[in-house]
Structure 1
Amino acid sequence: MEIRELLAGAGCDGWLCVMEIDGDGEVHAGSDEPVVAASVFKVIVALEVFRQAAAGELDPRERVRARPGETTLGPTGMSVFADEAEVSVRDLVTMMLTISDNAATDLLVERVGLDRMAATLAELKLTGTAVPYSLGGLLDSIAVDTGLATWRELMAAHHPAGPPDEMLHASRALRPEHSIRTTAGDMARLLKLIWLDRAGPAEACANVRAVMGQQVTRHRLAMGFPDDVRVAAKSGGLFGVVRNEVGVIRFPDGRRYAAAVFTRAHRPRAGENAINAVIGTVAAAAVASLRR
């Protein structure tokens, strides 16, 4: 069955790119079409942090304060802390990539700069990817669409249930041209460069690989592969519509594959388990065709 037919059968549209890391083989479906990145863009943030650290421009042990009421909201990590916390830059990266902490992400974005991330994307020729604002900026854009100034105001106005789905699903944040965006091809190429030590200094690439290998969730790409296949990944999702995952799959024989799968549900918040599972299914099918 065609990859996009598999995705449609699970209740979503989808975009995929799988590349051999140590060869030229590639399987793709809509890999150059723009998609909402959601939290997979955090791989770019991590790479920029470690590139600047390798260049001596920042100290990964530098302490950063996260203050409740000032940090970016989100469902995990310091985003939900009740008290002030102080952690190192490198531990912020760990929080960002392992549990997708939004507060940690924006503290890092502020530290490294959107302009520097844009320059790195241009250097790596990832022309389909753009990070025009922080996660806080993305969330605030949703509030602006409703006539309010900030995401905090929007959340307070709809406390405790949160904004209604129809309000969220009508926002610009779910349209690639107005959101943090990428393509499946760009993300697979980025991972390939990181795993080949070509996305920056070898030390920086190794640090990104190490933290990606610690992601807590294992219910998307990893579900498509046996237990002896190692998967280092970063997932992302937005409002029950967008569900994505990018990662590198390493087989016991040493062969490695960079995979990027992006999905958009036909019905918001419906079929989450089926869509999560099909991400692993289509990645496994693509890898199997390359291995043949």
Structure 2
Amino acid sequence: MNFERLLRRLRDDLAEGGLRGSFLVRDLATGAEIGLDADREFPAASLVKVPLVAVTLDRIRRGELDGAQPVEFTPEPAATAGLTGLARFRHPARVAVDDLLYLAVAISDSTAADALFALTPPTEVARTVRGWDLTGISVRHGLAELGDTPAERFADDELHLAHSLAIGAATAGQGHPVSQLDISRASSCSARACTDLLTALWTPSKIDAGVAAQVRELMGQNLLRHRLAPDFAADSAKWSSKTGTVLNLRHEIGVVEHADGQSFAVAALTESNVPAGVQPEAEILMARTARALRDHLRGRG
């Protein structure tokens, strides 16, 4: 199938499934790439944890932070910083910075990520990322507000109302009354910007080689594997990634490393116009779209 025909089919499939997205797949050896609306900007949600972790590790490398430094954590009964990890703790705990890094990536623990942001504020993360010559990624806030959306104000049987608001209230310029969905207020990125970050982590770049290796290891330990992993992980392929989710947004970025030596960076950022919180069909569709792009690029090579 030729490239233009493939893109038309994928656009039609996404529209039929109620999705709009920004996709990009890049061959890390040659730089060849294939994408779909790759420069469209989206709120980043938990994808912002990747630059946060990279910058934190770089500060540890420079001696500004100690990975063994314990961080005190006291549970808050009304906390809304996330549904996994420290937000579920019932008793006070001391967690080392190194372990916060693992929690932030492996189980997307937003409470752990905010403990890291307390050490390295969003402005410093953004400044360091720009210093690595990576553009298109904005880091504007912590993660607590991702757990404080209209969805948390409705009962479970009314969750569709929050998603209806998320879908229907967006402006043509991607503004939104829900701050987490407004690209001028939320941390944001595009598939191209995320692919550039992955490329910098998997190939020589301004990011220290040791730091990049640690980020790759953490992303390889990601336990959230319901989205793109089913189409990319195999006995002959390693999939390392990070997901991002808030309201009707579902993202994942990662790198698939094949046993034959080929490696591809993959970024899939999507928004749904279906007012439902649980959408396994959307997960399948975005994975199928990303896989089709990867297959086309790999076949072309």
User: Normalized against structure 2, the TM-score is what?
Assistant: 0.85
Return the offset for 1:250.
Answer: 0.7
Return the offset for 1:252.
Answer: 1.0
Which of 20, 33, 38 matches 2:27?
A: 20
- 2:243 matched to 1:235? yes
**In structure 2, distance between residues paired with 1:187 and 1:66:** 31
Q: Give me the CA root mean square deviation.
A: 2.3
Cα distance change of structure 1 residues 78 and 23 upon mapping to structure 2, 3 Å threshold? same
Q: 1:72, 1:106 within 8 Å by CA — same for their partners in 2?
A: no
Q: Partner of 2:82 in structure 1?
A: 74
Q: 1:138, 1:179 within 8 Å by CA — same for their partners in 2?
A: no
Which of 180, 188, 201 matches 1:173?
A: 180
Q: 2:159, 2:276 within 8 Å by CA — same for their partners in 1?
A: no
Which of 185, 192, 200 matches 2:192?
A: 185
Query: Identity rate of aligned residues, in percent?
Result: 29
Q: Partner of 2:44 in structure 1?
A: 37
Return the offset for 1:280.
Answer: 1.8
Q: 1:71, 1:103 within 8 Å by CA — same for their partners in 2?
A: no
Q: 1:197, 1:206 within 8 Å by CA — same for their partners in 2?
A: no
Question: SS at 2:184's partner residue?
Answer: helix
**In structure 2, distance between residues paired with 1:6 and 1:218:** 22
Q: 1:199, 1:205 within 8 Å by CA — same for their partners in 2?
A: no
Q: 1:223, 1:281 within 8 Å by CA — same for their partners in 2?
A: no
- 2:202 matched to 1:195? yes
Aligned residue type for 1:35: F
Q: 2:145, 2:180 within 8 Å by CA — same for their partners in 1?
A: no
Question: SS at 2:135's partner residue?
Answer: coil
Question: SS at 1:178's partner residue?
Answer: coil
Q: Partner of 1:147 in structure 2?
A: none
Which of 107, 110, 124 matches 2:118?
A: 110
Aligned residue type for 2:99: D
**In structure 1, distance between residues paired with 2:206 and 2:275:** 35
Which of 222, 227, 243 matches 2:229?
A: 222
C-alpha offsets along residues 183-231 of structure 1, whole Å, 9 cap, x if unaligned?
A: 1100011001001142521111011000100111222222223622110
Stretches (4+) displaced over 3 A: 137-140, 158-168
Which of 207, 211, 214 matches 2:218?
A: 211
Cα distance change of structure 1 residues 4 and 24 upon mapping to structure 2, 3 Å threshold? same
**In structure 1, distance between residues paired with 2:206 and 2:155:** 43
Question: SS at 2:24's partner residue?
Answer: strand
**Which structure 2 residue ranges, 5 or more long, are not aligned?**
1-5, 170-177
The 5 A counterparts of 1:252-267 are 252-267=259-274
Question: SS at 1:224's partner residue?
Answer: helix
**In structure 1, distance between residues paired with 2:107 and 2:51:** 16
Cα distance change of structure 1 residues 199 and 215 upon mapping to structure 2, 3 Å threshold? farther
C-alpha offsets along residues 9-53 of structure 1, whole Å, 9 cap, x if unaligned?
A: 332111101111111201111111111111111111110111111
- 2:95 matched to 1:61? no
Which of 225, 244, 251 matches 1:244?
A: 251
**In structure 2, distance between residues paired with 1:163 and 1:81:** 27
Question: SS at 1:231's partner residue?
Answer: strand
**In structure 1, distance between residues paired with 2:232 and 2:100:** 29
Cα distance change of structure 1 residues 203 and 124 upon mapping to structure 2, 3 Å threshold? same
Q: Partner of 2:139 in structure 1?
A: 131
Aligned residue type for 2:82: G
User: Normalized against structure 1, the TM-score is what?
Assistant: 0.87
Give aligned pairs, total: 278
Question: SS at 1:257's partner residue?
Answer: strand
